[in-house]
Amino acid sequence: MDGSLTVAVVGATGAVGREMLSTLEARNFPATRVIALASSRSSGLPLPFRGGEISVQELKEDSFQGVDIALFSAGGGTSERFAPHAVRHGCVVVDNSSAWRADDRCPLVVPEVNAHALKRHRGIIANPNCSTIQMVVALNPLHKAVPIRRVVVSTYQAVSGTGQKGIAELDSQVRQMFNMTDPDVKVYPHRIAFNCLPHIDVFLENGYTKEEMKMVRETVKIMEDPSVKVTATTVRVPVFYSHSEALNVEFARPLSPVEARVILHDAPGVVVLDNPGENIYPMPVSATGEDEVFVGRIRVDESQANTLNMWVVSDNVRKGAALNAVQIAELLARDNLLGVPDPMAFLN
């Protein structure tokens, strides 16, 4: 990486966009120029970066002239509209929305799992769902050792997964309830303060939510193995940052907890915290602000052969979004994978 790159962050004023800027700075990403893009109502807003400030510019179709990499975190509709124009200008897009994840032209990448997929990008690379990212980081090293047959995952997802509006709603509702007033319910279908909602995204005809089916489909695409079966129940909980997941994993043959701990201890991006006797296990409060995926409570499922239970926690705004996108950008620069082979590939 020669330090001559120009990077744009789209949706720079949101929770993930701000974290992308912070991550670029913290990891010393070799860009000589970083551009912050957002809607017209945020134009001119100063954002801290590298000891100074950068001014937000209005996102337009021609905003990507001279830009090498664009990190998108502005919603699916914005991505569908503007990402093709970025590609038209020769800019490689790393998109955090769900807009391109199922598109066969777009690699769906978690660097610790399938970095090789970047070599076949055509201009747009999809960042997976935050809950999927942390799950596959933990599952993939185990799957390499002993093939996984089936995963049952139940998630406990923080309100930051909904962005700044989710954070604000939980904060507001907690304050209102302590002041003995009825909480305002705007973002979620029911009160989130001191509550759990088994409802993330819309419900589909099969009874699952869209979030749950994202985990099912994205896991198969990332791990490149359709034989891995996944079923999910996703739940929003009154936690500000970091998603937690309870995984029940069936393998093709027995895998002991000791073997699993050894494998995960040596896995990239994973930290094993697993000593229940000393009350050591992953928690959202300790994962928040950290880059790794934390795994603990690894134990045998006594009701099912060849099956382990485990508890997985990670900061959804960092590894689940901003960090994963920046890691992809780092690999694109390091491996000379910048540039777009077909600039018109995504324009209708």
Per-residue exposure over 265-303, b if at least 16 CB sit within 10 Å of its own CB, e if not: eebebbbbbbeeeeeebbbbeebbebbbbbbbbbebeee
Could you give the CA distance from residue 85 to residue 347 in angstroms, rounded to a whole number? 7
Q: DSSP secondary structure string, 85-139?
A: HHHHTTPEEEE-SSTTTT-TTS-B--HHHHGGGGGG-SSEEEPPPHHHHHHHHHH
Are the CB atoms for 98 and 129 separated by under 8 Å? Answer: yes
Could you give the CA distance from residue 90 to residue 64 in angstroms, rounded to a whole number? 8
Would you give the end-to-end CA distance of the chain in angstroms? Answer: 33
The active-site residue, picked from 85, 121, 130, 143, is 130
Residue 62's Cβ-side half-sphere holds a number of Cα atoms within 13 Å equal to 0
91 is an active site residue: no
**Six-digit token pair at 295?**
């795994």
Q: DSSP secondary structure string, 208-272?
A: -BHHHHHHHHHHHHHHT-TT-EEEEEEEE-S-SS-EEEEEEEEESS---HHHHHHHHHTSTTEEE
Could you give the CA distance from residue 107 to residue 110 in angstroms, rounded to a whole number? 10
130 is an active site residue: yes
Residues acting as catalytic residues: 130, 243
